[in-house]
């Protein structure tokens, strides 16, 4: 059997994994991948697809089989044991927050794990879950190499004026800064632009990563200049259950009303965004064709604030050559793309309704002053690349 790289992406309610075959040098080929979804819910599900997108397994799980990430890992591990007879060369993990210490992928050891555990409060929906598989493998198979790949790393190229808050120097030194997130996705898009649209890649590009978590990133020459997300993955655009940008005074008011830290955190991370505005659902698929006025408000708010966030990034780029939509909503919701682009029509953006409805790669009309594109993202591919590069070339040291 060929050598493999295993990629793990543990979220708040899902555990995704991809396996890539490799020659151990620089070649990677997708072999299969899948996920356990609905973790902690009433209807967890396990599904795996092969390299030709053929379904290898599709199985409803009992709730007790996927009550938490540890049990879900057992489901994945047991299945992997039936198809992989050789331990992977390494396991690469998506880690949402790298804090101030890491600007690139890094091999996991005790010190790294300790630093990453200390960042849980900065990404409470993600960091602990991202690290759960790392801990399990580290404790049970300490000889297997593990690589942490960070969503914050791509944005470390931002200039200082975009990185700082207007707070005393002490807080910056303590790590209070505008990190930005979804960096693995943005790195993939930057690579695809260089490959498929080299003229655009060198230009002024805004990428809108629109999924259950949403953000936008301003790029030039494939490097991050600015992002809508800041210190945590709560900031910026409205999301499925997260509020996005909000006056910090609202949190002070909540504290004055006697709300606890945990109550406020739960509200802002899990009960806000589309879910909070609509009172119906956190899922765009449930809201975009719903005639209920609350659903219409939620969708209108979503599109308006995405466009507002994109516009705010143009100070960094000093103009716009291309707008790219990616991630689940960005790739699959013609309505969201249409509404966002309507708000940006003053920039000369025009999209073709037929191209938009059929999710074509290029959405813009021939006379549009700005190119508008869909580029499907692939964070797992980036993680696999970074993992292989690190174990073969020794890259990925911590910033000191």
> For residue 81, is pLDDT > 90?
no
Catalytic residue set: 151
Rounded to whole angstroms, the Cα distance separating 257 from 264 reads 11
> For residue 394, is pLDDT > 60?
no
Rg (CA), the chain: 21
Rounded to whole angstroms, the Cα distance separating 90 from 143 reads 10
Confidence band (pLDDT; 50, 70, 90) for 1? low
Rounded to whole angstroms, the Cα distance separating 288 from 357 reads 14
In this prediction, residue 10 carries a pLDDT of 85
CATH topology assigned to domain 199-374: Nucleotidyltransferase; domain 5 (3.30.420)
Please, what is the angle between helix 334-343 and helix 293-312, to 10°?
A: 60
In this prediction, residue 385 carries a pLDDT of 94
* Phi, psi of 393, deg, nearest 5: -120, -10
- Tell me if 3-156+382-393 shares its fold with 199-374: yes
Tokens representing residue 298 in the block: 């939620």
Strand segments (E) across the chain: 3-10, 14-22, 28-37, 45-50, 55-60, 90-95, 106-107, 145-150, 204-210, 214-220, 223-227, 322-326, 371-374
Q: Rounded to a whole number, what is the distance in angstroms from the first to the last CA of the chain? A: 40
Instruction: Give the residue extent of every domain in the chain.
Output: 3-156+382-393, 199-374
Rounded to whole angstroms, the Cα distance separating 376 from 330 reads 9
Mean pLDDT of 76-102: 90
Mean pLDDT of 248-268: 96
Pick the CATH number of 3-156+382-393 from 3.20.20.70, 3.60.15.10, 2.40.30.10, 3.30.420.40: 3.30.420.40
DSSP-derived pairing of the beta strands 223-227 and 204-210: unpaired
Mean pLDDT of 41-46: 87
pLDDT digits (tens, 9 = 90+) for 352-367: 999 999 999 999 999 9
Rounded to whole angstroms, the Cα distance separating 204 from 201 reads 8
In this prediction, residue 327 carries a pLDDT of 94
Percent of the chain past pLDDT 90, that is, above it, reads 77
Burial class (CB in 10 A: 0-12, 13-18, 19+), 262: exposed
Report pTM. Answer: 0.91
pLDDT digits (tens, 9 = 90+) for 21-42: 998 777 899 999 999 988 887 8
Rounded to whole angstroms, the Cα distance separating 43 from 206 reads 37
> For residue 396, is pLDDT > 70?
no
């Amino acid at each position: 059997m060929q050598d493999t790289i295993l990629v793990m992406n543990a979220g708040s309610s899902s555990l995704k994994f991809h396996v890539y075959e490799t020659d151990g040098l620089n070649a990677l080929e997708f072999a299969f991948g899948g996920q356990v979804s609905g973790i902690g819910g009433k209807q967890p599900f396990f599904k795996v697809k092969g390299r030709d997108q053929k379904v290898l397994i599709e199985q409803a799980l009992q709730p007790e089989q996927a009550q938490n990430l540890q049990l879900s890992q057992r489901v994945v591990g047991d299945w992997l044991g039936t198809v992989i007879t050789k331990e992977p060369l390494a396991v690469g993990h998506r880690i949402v927050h790298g804090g101030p210490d890491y600007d690139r992928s890094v091999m996991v050891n005790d010190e790294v794990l300790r630093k990453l555990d200390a960042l849980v409060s900065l990404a409470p929906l993600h960091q602990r879950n991202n690290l759960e598989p790392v801990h399990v493998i580290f404790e049970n198979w300490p000889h297997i190499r593990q690589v942490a790949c960070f969503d914050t790393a791509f944005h470390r190229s931002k200039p200082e004026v975009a990185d700082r808050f207007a707070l005393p120097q002490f807080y910056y030194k303590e790590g209070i800064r505008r990190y930005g997130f979804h960096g693995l996705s943005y790195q993939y898009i930057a690579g695809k632009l260089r490959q498929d649209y080299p003229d655009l890649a060198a230009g002024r590009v805004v990428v809108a990563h629109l999924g259950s978590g949403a953000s936008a990133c301003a790029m030039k020459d494939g490097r991050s200049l600015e992002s809508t997300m800041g210190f945590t993955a709560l900031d910026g655009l409205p999301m499925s259950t997260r509020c996005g940008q909000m006056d910090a005074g609202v949190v002070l008011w909540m504290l004055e009303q006697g709300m606890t830290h945990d109550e406020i955190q739960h509200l802002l991370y899990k009960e806000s965004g589309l879910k909070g505005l609509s009172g119906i659902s956190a899922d765009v698929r449930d809201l975009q064709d719903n005639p209920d006025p609350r659903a219409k408000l939620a969708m209108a708010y979503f599109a308006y604030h995405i466009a507002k966030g994109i516009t705010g990034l143009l100070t960094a780029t000093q103009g716009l050559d291309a707008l790219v939509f990616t991630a689940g909503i960005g790739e699959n919701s013609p309505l969201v793309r249409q509404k966002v682009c309507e708000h940006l029509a003053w920039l000369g953006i025009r999209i073709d309704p037929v191209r938009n409805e059929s999710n074509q790669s290029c959405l813009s009309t021939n006379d549009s002053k700005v190119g508008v594109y869909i580029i499907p993202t692939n964070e797992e591919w980036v993680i696999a690349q970074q993992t292989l590069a690190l174990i073969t070339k020794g890259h990925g040291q911590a910033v000191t």
